[in-house]
Amino acid sequence: MKSRFALAVSVVSLVVPASASAHVTIKPDELPAGGYTRIDVRVPNESDEASTDKVEVQLPDGFASASYEAVPGWEAEVKTSKLDEPVETDDGEITEQVDTITWTAAEGNNGIAPGQFQDFGLSVKMPDSPGETLTFPAIQSYTDGEVVRWIGSPDSEEPAPTVTLGEPAEEGHAAAGTGSGEAGAEEGAAMVSDSGNGGLVLGALIVAILALILSAVSLMRRR
State the CATH number of the domain containing residue 157.
2.60.40.2230
End-to-end C-alpha distance for the chain, whole angstroms? 86
Report how far Cα 141 is from the mean position of its chain's Cα atoms: 23
Position 133 in a domain: yes
Q: What is the extent of the structural domain holding 65?
A: 23-163
Position 90 in a domain: yes
Nearest 5°: phi and psi at 23?
-140, 175
Angle made by CA atoms 151, 153, 159, in degrees to the nearest 5: 55
Position 95 in a domain: yes
- The Cα diameter of the chain in Å comes to 103
**Cβ contact 31:125 at 8 Å:** no
Number of domains in the chain: 1
Position 170 in a domain: no
Task: Write down the pLDDT at residue 10.
Answer: 43
Position 74 in a domain: yes
The model's pLDDT over 69-89, given as tens digits with 9 standing for 90+, comes to 999 999 999 999 998 888 776
Please give the average per-residue pLDDT across 55-63, as a whole number.
Answer: 95
79: Cβ contacts below 8 Å, ≥ 6 apart:
98, 99, 100, 101, 102
Task: Write down the pLDDT at residue 33.
Answer: 95
The residue among 62, 136, 150 whose CA lies nearest residue 101 is 136
The model's pLDDT over 148-201, given as tens digits with 9 standing for 90+, comes to 999 999 999 999 999 999 999 876 543 333 343 343 333 333 333 344 444 555
Residue 170 is classified by DSSP as P
47 vs 174, more confident: 47
Position 146 in a domain: yes
**Cβ contact 39:101 at 8 Å:** no
Position 9 in a domain: no
**Cβ contact 60:134 at 8 Å:** yes
Task: Write down the pLDDT at residue 168.
Answer: 93
Position 102 in a domain: yes
Report the relative pairing of strands 147-150 and 138-142 from DSSP bridges.
antiparallel
Q: How confident is the model at residue 47 (pLDDT cuts 50, 70, 90)?
A: very high
The overall average pLDDT reported for the chain is 79
